[in-house]
Amino acid sequence: MATTNIGALLLAELQTLSTEARRKHPEIKEAAERVIVVLRGIKATGSVEIASELAKSDEAISPFVLGCKTNNHKLASISVQCLQQLISHRAVSPRSIAQTLSTLNEVIHLGVDIQVKILQMVLPLVTMYDGCVYGETLVDAFHLCLALQKSRDPIVNNTAAAILRQVVVAVFDRVVAEDREHNDDEQEDTRESDMTRKYAKDAFFVLQDLCLWAAGSDTIFILDETVDQGLVLDLIESVLVNHAAVVARHTSMLQILRERLAPFVVGFFAEKAPFTLAVRCIRIVWLFIRDLHVDLAPECEMFLSILTRLVDPGITSKGGRSSVSLSRSGGMQPSKTVLGSGFPLFYRVLAMEILRNTLRDAQLLHQLYAQFDGDSNADTDAEDCHVIADVLKAVGKVAAERPELRVSNSDGIPGAQAVGGLASESESLDSKQ
C-alpha cells in the first residue's frame, strides 16, 4: 500500500495542472478546480479516508482524463502520475475503471516515462479492484501490456513482459478464491466446466488464447495478431507452475491443454525447434509430467515416450499406448515411428534433464510406475505398458556410454551402476510377468 498522503499530493498536482492548462485548455482548469474544492471539503486527513471519499465519485479522475486527451506530453505526464496515485490508493470509482484503461491506451505513444507509469498501473487495477476488471475490461488491460511489450525500448519491453506474467497469474489467483466460495458447503465437483463464473471464464479464455498464440492461430478473447512465441510459452509455464491445481479442477481448461497445447508441443519436437523455444517446451513437458500426470495421463505417457526416445533413439517399446508419431497438423497419432534420429544434441540433454528430475522424485516415480507400468491400472484389452521401464533402460544406456559418470554425486543423481542395475532389475521383472 502506498504511503504518500494522497490529499496533499493531489492538491499540488491539480494546481500545477490548472496553471499549465489555463490558456489552451480551460476545460481542464475548470475540472481541476472542481476536484480541488472536493478535496478541501473532505474533513479526513488520512490517505485511506481521503481515498475512500474520492472513490465515491467519478469526478476525481475527470481533469486527468482530459489532460491525457490533449496529447500534450507535459499535461499527460502530470495526469498519468496522478492517475497512478489514485489507483494505488484505491481512490478510483469502480465505475471509472473502464474509462481509466481507455484513457491510458490513448497516451501509450507519448514517451518511455509515461509508458512505464502506465505499466505500473495495470497490475494494481487487476488485483486491487476486485470485481471491476474482468471480461472486456480485462482484455483492455492485456492490450495495454501487449502493445507496450512490442516497444523497442528494452526497459519498457522487459517491464511489460514482467507485468504480463503477473497479470496472467493474477487471473488464475482469482479463480482459487472463486472456487473456494462455490465449494464451501456442498463440496461440488469444480471439475465441471462452469462458464457462468466470471473469473473461471476469464481464466479459461486467457489459457485458450495463450495456447492459440503458441500455435500461431487466431485468438478469440484477447485479439492481438503478433505476440512473441517465447513470451507466450513463458506465460503458459507461469500458469502451470503456479496454478496446475486450478487447471486440474476445471475440465474445460484441461481440455484446452489436451486439444491445443499437447499437440503443439509434440509438433514442436517433430520440427526440431531452436534451442530457446525447445527449452521452454521441455519445461512445459516437465510440468505436465510432474503436476498433471493423473488428469492428462495419455499426454504424459506420450511425453515420457518422446523423452525416452530422444535419450535413446534405438529403444523399442514393449507395447501399450506410448508409441506416437509427431505431426503439427495431425496432433498425436499412434505409430511405430522411432524418434530421436537426426535431432540436435541439446534435445538429448534437455530430455535427460527431465528424466533425471523424474527419477530423483521418489514419490512421483512411484506414482508414474503405478499409473503406467503397474498391473492395477493396466487395460485388460491392451498390451502391458512399460513406460517407466523404458525410461530406466534409456538412462542406463546413457550412463553406460560414459563410464566416468559411475560415481556417487552429492546432489543425489544416481550413478551409472545404480541406474543400470535398476534397468536390469526392471527387465527381469518384465520377463517374469
pLDDT in tens, the chain (433 residues): 444 577 888 888 888 888 888 888 889 888 888 888 888 887 777 788 888 888 888 888 899 999 988 888 888 999 999 899 889 888 888 888 988 999 998 898 888 999 999 999 999 999 988 788 899 999 999 999 999 998 889 999 999 999 999 999 999 999 988 888 877 444 455 445 467 788 999 999 999 999 999 888 888 888 876 788 899 999 999 999 999 999 998 989 999 999 999 999 988 877 777 888 889 999 999 999 999 999 999 999 999 998 988 888 776 655 444 444 444 333 444 343 334 456 778 888 898 899 999 999 999 999 998 888 875 444 444 456 788 888 888 888 877 776 655 544 444 444 444 445 444 544 544 444 4
Give backbone dihedrals phi and psi of 359, rounded to 5 degrees, phi first. Answer: -70, -25
Please report the pLDDT score of residue 1 as a whole number. 40
Residue type, 177: A
User: Do residues 413 and 356 touch, judged by C-beta distance below 8 A?
Assistant: yes
Return the pLDDT at 115. 92
Please give the single-letter amino acid code of residue 36.
I
Q: Name the amino acid, one letter, at 367.
A: Q
CB 106 within 8 A of CB 68: yes
The DSSP output letter for 414 is P
pLDDT of residue 383: 54
Give the separation between CA 213 and CA 200, rounded to whole angstroms: 20
User: For the chain, what percentages of helix, strand and coil (3-state, to nearest 5) are there?
Assistant: 70, 0, 30
Grid cell locating 55: 472513490
Residue 161 corresponds to which amino acid? A
Instruction: Please name every residue paired with 324 in a beta bridge, in sequence order, or none if there are none.
Output: 334
Long-range Cβ pairs for the range 12-17 (8 Å, 24+): 13/78, 13/81, 13/82, 14/39, 14/63, 14/82, 16/78, 17/63, 17/64, 17/67, 17/75, 17/78, 17/79, 17/82
- Residue 331 · residue 263 · CB < 8 Å: yes
CA atoms within 13 A on the CB side of 185: 0
Q: What is the pTM of this model?
A: 0.82
Contact call for residues 67 and 21 (beta carbons, < 8 A): yes
